[in-house]
């Protein structure tokens, strides 16, 4: 009798642990939702997906006021990638491109290596359609230590020291208005580490505690060249 009760307990515990593991895996692979923000231009006019120039670096801040993201029209359809792997070994899927040509993608512009990001003064990280010094074309290349990411495959690492892909930004496309919305992230976020590393600089730039304010209902999209005084080429 005691043995049967013990075995039943083990079965229940085993089942619970299995459910917990499955739930953790699901939570790890699902997008992390944030308040939805419409992408707009500097005048507040909604960005039209079909008006984006292909192979051009656009920048917006999401899901926080100070966290930069690249918006790219790769000029060709890109579909969902094979599972991507975070540094901790967990995997997740990526949605692929959106928009009329299914080539519009967005990624956090915070490098997954040492958190280099585009500032008003300079950007060491950017998308390059032509060949970069590593010989790769159509990649996001961080010139700080040469981490190279493929935006057509969910931001996976092509080469360099980055231990994991760039976090992807979930984009929703509204075909009726040709509009774009950001609604979450996929993959390994670096936001906590980013706020910790740049706390002093961000406080000077945004005001105490304001860098971590949510983006709000609208995220302003600019060309990187209009946001940032100098983009480092490599
Ligand atoms: S910070 Fe980007 S490669 Fe090192």
Instruction: Summarize pLDDT for 22-78 with one digit per residue, the tens.
Output: 444 444 678 999 999 999 999 999 999 999 999 999 999 999 999 999 999 999 999
Residue 118 has pLDDT above 60, yes or no: yes
CA distance 181 to 190: 21
Q: Using a cut of 0.85, tell me whether the model's pTM lies above it.
A: yes
How does residue 1 score in pLDDT terms, banded at 50, 70 and 90? very low
Ligand 1 centroid distance, CA of 173 (Å): 31
Among residues 212, 99, 214, 113, the alpha carbon closest in space to that of 155 is found at: 113
Candidate of 70, 110, 113, 148 to mutate for ligand 1, largest count of ligand atoms within 8 Å of Cβ: 113
How does residue 13 score in pLDDT terms, banded at 50, 70 and 90? very low
Residue 85 has pLDDT above 50, yes or no: yes
Look up residue 153 and give its two tokens: 């495959």
Q: Check residue 15 and give its pLDDT.
A: 43
Q: Check residue 2 and give its pLDDT.
A: 37
Ligand 1 centroid distance, CA of 219 (Å): 25
Candidate of 144, 149, 193 to mutate for ligand 1, largest count of ligand atoms within 8 Å of Cβ: 144
Ligand 1 centroid distance, CA of 30 (Å): 26
Ligand 1 centroid distance, CA of 16 (Å): 41
> What digits encode the pLDDT tens for the residues 185-197?
999 999 999 999 9
Query: Pairing relation of β-strands 156-159 and 147-150?
Result: antiparallel
CA distance 169 to 105: 8
Q: Whose CA is nearest to atom 1 of ligand 1?
A: 114
Look up residue 5 and give its two tokens: 């009760």
Least confident of 24-28, 95-99, 211-215: 24-28
Q: Whose CA is nearest to atom 4 of ligand 1?
A: 145
């Amino acid at each position: 009798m005691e043995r049967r009760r013990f075995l039943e307990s083990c079965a229940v515990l085993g089942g619970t642990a299995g459910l917990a593991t499955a739930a953790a895996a699901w939570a790890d692979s699902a997008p992390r939702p944030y308040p939805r923000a419409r992408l707009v231009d500097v005048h507040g006019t909604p960005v039209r997906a079909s008006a984006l120039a292909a192979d051009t670096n656009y920048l917006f801040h999401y899901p926080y006021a100070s966290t930069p993201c690249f918006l790219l029209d790769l000029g060709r359809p890109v579909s969902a990638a094979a599972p991507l792997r975070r540094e901790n070994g967990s995997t997740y899927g990526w949605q692929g491109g959106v928009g009329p040509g299914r080539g519009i993608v967005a990624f956090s512009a915070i490098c997954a290596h040492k958190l280099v990001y585009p500032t008003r003064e300079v950007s060491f990280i950017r998308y390059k359609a032509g060949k970069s010094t590593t010989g790769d074309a159509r990649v996001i290349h961080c010139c700080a230590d040469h981490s190279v990411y493929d935006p057509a495959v969910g931001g996976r690492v092509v080469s360099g020291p980055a231990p994991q892909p760039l976090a992807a930004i979930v984009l929703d496309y509204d075909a009726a208005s040709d509009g774009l919305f950001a609604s979450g992230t996929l993959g390994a976020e670096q936001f906590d580490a980013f706020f910790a590393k740049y706390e002093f600089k961000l406080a000077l730039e945004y005001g105490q505690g304001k860098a971590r304010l949510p983006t709000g209902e609208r995220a302003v999209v600019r060309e990187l060249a209009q946001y940032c005084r100098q983009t480092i080429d490599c």
